[in-house]
Amino acid sequence: MASSLSSKHLPQGTDDLGRNDSDQTVLEKHVSFFDRNRDGFVYPWETFEGLRAIGAGYFFSMAGAFLIHFALSGKTRPGKYPSPVFPIEVKNIHLARHGSDAGVFDSDGRFVELKFEEIFSKFARTHGSALTSGELMAMLRSNRESGDYKGWIGSWTEWMTLYNLCKDERGLLRKEIVRGVYDGSLFERMERDRKPHKNRCCI
Distances (CA, A) of 126 to 130, 135, 157, 179: 8, 9, 23, 19
| DSSP run (H or E) holding 41 | strand 41-42
Residues of span 98-117 touching ligand HEM by CB under 6 A: 98, 101-102, 104-105
162 touches ligand HEM by CB under 6 A: yes
- Residue 50 or 154 with smaller CB distance to Ca ion: 50
Residues of span 165-194 touching ligand HEM by CB under 6 A: 181
Question: CA 112 to CA 33: how far, in whole Å?
Answer: 20
- Residue 18 or 45 with smaller CB distance to ligand HEM: 45
- CB proximity list for 134: less than 8 A, separation 6 or greater: none
Q: With contact defined as beta carbons under 8 Å apart, do 24 and 183 qualify?
A: no
42 touches ligand HEM by CB under 6 A: yes
| Binding site residues, ligand HEM, CB under 6 A | 27, 30-31, 34, 42, 47, 51, 68, 72, 88, 93, 96-98, 101-102, 104-105, 155, 158-159, 161-162, 181
